[in-house]
A and B are shown apart, each in its own frame.
Chain A
Amino acid sequence: MSFLDFSHITKTYPGVKALSDVSFGVDKGAVHGLMGENGAGKSTLIKILSGDQHADEGEISIDGKVQAYASTRDAFDNGVIVIHQELQLVPELTVAENLSLGRFPANAGIIAGRRMLDDVGAKLKSAGIDIDMRRKVKTLSIGERQMIEIAKAIMLDARVIALDEPTSSLSSRESEILFALIDRLRGEGKVIIYVSHRLDEVFRLCDSLTVLRDGKLAAHHASLKGVTRDQVVAEMVGREISDIWGFRPRKPGDIRLKVETLSGAKLKTPASFEARAGEIVGFFGLIGAGRSELMRLVYGADPRSGGTITVDGKLVRATDPRGTIRAGIVLCSEDRKHDGIIQGRSVEENINISSRRHHTRFGVLNRVNEIATAETFIKKLKVRTPSRKQDIINLSGGNQQKVILGRWLSEQGVRVLIVDEPTRGIDVGAKSEIYELLYQLAEDGMAIVVVSSELPEVMGICDRILVMCGGRVSAELTRDQFAERAILAAALPDQKTPDAIAS
């Protein structure tokens, strides 16, 4: 029996079996990787571990004792701490206050400030975290905040620490600091559960690994010796994926989208580019290089202060999304949760929200058509959902992305499809499905613009890459000119070296 033991965990949500009979164990002082596609059940398992959800069947035991938590607070008190992607810190409080929250050292209700600083300072020092504890959390970078979350776990003498996609918003330097901290925790005999999509990290950090697929245990490796990456990918998707890009040469046609000297409040330097029919154009750059800002201007999401946009030689006069959609330009935003999905509404409604106008009569919906459209795109895009009536919030990230794509593909006369970080937070299997879809659309004559921070992705799927840096287009390369170093060099401001890039 291992220190932390999951045995026969089963959990059913309405319409979905999230986990079925999952059992595995993790030893003390081990970093255990937890991998799987979106919707494989990783988050559910972590939620059960943290006391946020309860297993229908099965149990978790630590050090031989069965754990039954009434709440996350209960789990906390038992030394089980989960650090989520969305961090749970109070921005207006200082680092020290955040770390003492809920257990302030106090005399008759008055906080003993000195004692608090001493306690927190000692803990931070022993963890090797070098952050001024008098700073307010809102002034910290995301990486620093993550450190504080982990420090919180250390303060509470956690026995089990689960990290859910901890590096998804960290730069590579910040990630390194995190990895060092994890190594230290391993040395202290903690159990670390490390949930990630990134194979590199898992192979670098983890001692053992569990792969989930469709809520079932797909593989358990007690040691990673002799395990290959391809093997793990195959275990995750249930089939071999030899080349996830699957690039196919295309023959771009005439110029579809022409953007000239476009500028706006957040993009001071006028930018110009064009995209041809049947071409996939990539935009690469660091976060904040102005790519998303440019795309939002093209789509009319933000007001433009100058420049012109033409589609198939016709000037686009519209300055709002309503108008640009009618001109044939659509955008899948980078921030799916904020700008993409309509929470609380069904998959069906999320698909039909725009294209329904082609089928209405005097503002009255055509129900038959809406149902048919929803069913068509759920099937065509392989959206994993129990039914078209499911609330979109209950779908995994990749499936939400597919629903948004469905929203635009059900539109008539889309000529330009802009996708901003189309595969962020999406697993390998769904990724290659989305790439394949983009290829098909390009082959049908659409002009496609892909914004991505993942260099292998833009190099893997695009015909042409434009690199942005500091709000301007700094380089343009055709497929035969693609070279990692050249693209990175163009993406980086002068003072940085390619190694400092966000991964």
Chain B
Amino acid sequence: MTDQLKKLLLGEQGLVVIFVVAFALVSLLVPNFLTDRNMLGLLQSVVTVGIVACTMMFCLAARDFDLSVGSIVAFAGMVAVMASNATGSILLGLLAAIACGAFVGFINGVVIAKFRINALITTLATMQIVRGLALIASDGRAVGINSPDFYQLALSKLLGIPTPVWVLAILFCIFGFVLNRTVFGKNTLAIGGNPEASRLAGVNVDRTRIWIFALQGVVCGIAGILLASRITSGQPNAAVGLELSVISACVLGGVSLAGGRATMSGVIVGVLIMGIAENAMNLLNIPAFYQYIVRGVILLLAVLLDNLRSSALGRR
């Protein structure tokens, strides 16, 4: 490897460089990849992972972890469908879904921050509890949507781009701003860097952590609504394993599991790389079983690269 190439790949923007190269390669080599239709399909396929990754990034950046996101997404979707069916008002259904998501996230946050229970354990527990609630509420069956307007959430387009993609883009912007330009974002990174020093520097650590989990809940609520609208029903078994895809995307985007390091641009790239890999494999008709292997390999390579980059930058 020449020095310049090394610098480019291992520099701060190395991931973006790799992404651009990968994108160009896939565009050239995979037929039907670079078409309007496929691009929109690709973006739509990453909406759920992308939306949840926004707040998972905060969670990981603060040295926390959230396994309950998949369950919350399914539960919120159920709530949205059932509440709008029951009240006849879609708006009420959406609000109920977001409120439920926020409530679960808030409980996560309080248990983790105030009762000092390990985040992994806490969210492992709520992951199962919430999945159980979704199954009980629907008696284990999918619940159909009564109002056709609900479908429109996922089907409608603005300037030729589907609404869910707009929502994703807006959330990327909002959380990118929150991470870099607000006290909340900086406090999140500081807590991940050194929780005790942050507390002694006057950061309200407990409140910040509770907020992170509550926001995660809200965002899962939004993702749940859009997912329910796309699959035209509330499904208690939706989004199983979502937490792993989301965490993979974040790690791929350079978020450190040890906390203190995260960028929105990295996470966006991480989400897109995952999406492109899946999309390209589908276009090439690679069987789903092999896709697991490829995704795992990509993740390992990304983390390896990140390690190289850290040592190149002289970090420990």
Q: Residues of A at under 8 Å CB distance from B?
A: 13-14, 299, 301, 320-322, 325, 331, 333, 338-345, 349, 352-354, 356-357, 360, 363-365, 367, 391, 393-394, 407
B315 to chain A, nearest CB (A): 6
Segment from B87-95, B142-150, B152-160, B191-199 that makes contact with A:
B191-199
Instruction: Tell me the bound Cα distance from A29 to B111 in angstroms.
Output: 61
List the B residue with the shortest CB-CB distance to A355: B202
List the A residue with the shortest CB-CB distance to B204: A322
Interface residues of B in 27-77 (CB under 8 A from A): none
Q: Are A364 and B182 in contact (CB under 8 A)?
A: yes
The 8 residue pairs across chains A and B that have the minimum distance between CB atoms: A344-B260, A342-B193, A325-B202, A344-B193, A354-B202, A322-B202, A342-B194, A353-B201
B73 to chain A, nearest CB (A): 27
Q: Are B196 and A339 in contact (CB under 8 A)?
A: yes
> What are some 27 contacts across the A-B interface (CB < 8 A)?
A14-B314, A321-B199, A321-B202, A325-B202, A331-B200, A333-B200, A338-B194, A342-B193, A342-B194, A342-B197, A344-B189, A344-B256, A344-B315, A345-B189, A345-B193, A353-B186, A353-B190, A353-B198, A354-B202, A354-B203, A356-B186, A360-B182, A363-B183, A364-B183, A365-B181, A365-B182, A394-B315
Q: Are A342 and B260 in contact (CB under 8 A)?
A: yes
Instruction: Tell me the bound Cα distance from A155 to B259 in angstroms.
Output: 39
| Of listed B186, B199, B201, residue having the most chain A CB within 10 A | B201
Instruction: Tell me the bound Cα distance from A349 to B182 in angstroms.
Output: 12
The residues of A that contact B198 with a CB separation of less than 8 Å are: 342, 353
The residues of B that contact A14 with a CB separation of less than 8 Å are: 313-314
The residues of B that contact A353 with a CB separation of less than 8 Å are: 186-187, 190, 198, 201-203
Q: Residues of B at under 8 Å CB distance from A?
A: 181-184, 186-187, 189-190, 192-194, 196-204, 256, 259-261, 313-316
Q: Are B201 and A343 in contact (CB under 8 A)?
A: no
The residues of A that contact B192 with a CB separation of less than 8 Å are: 344
B219 to chain A, nearest CB (A): 18
B116 to chain A, nearest CB (A): 15
List the B residue with the shortest CB-CB distance to A392: B193
The residues of A that contact B181 with a CB separation of less than 8 Å are: 364-365, 367
| Of listed B193, B194, B200, residue having the most chain A CB within 10 A | B200
Q: Are A341 and B315 in contact (CB under 8 A)?
A: no
List the A residue with the shortest CB-CB distance to B182: A363
Q: Are B260 and A365 in contact (CB under 8 A)?
A: no
Q: Are B186 and A365 in contact (CB under 8 A)?
A: yes
Q: Are B201 and A321 in contact (CB under 8 A)?
A: yes
A345-B190, A353-B201 known, 15 other contacts, Cβ within 8 Å: A322-B204, A325-B202, A333-B200, A338-B196, A338-B197, A341-B197, A342-B190, A342-B194, A343-B194, A344-B189, A344-B192, A349-B186, A353-B198, A354-B202, A363-B183
Contact of A339 among B197, B203, B313, B315 (CB under 8 A): B197
B205 to chain A, nearest CB (A): 9
Instruction: Tell me the bound Cα distance from A320 to B203 in angstroms.
Output: 10
List the B residue with the shortest CB-CB distance to A354: B202
Known: A344-B256, A353-B190, A356-B186. A13 touches B261 (CB 8 A): no
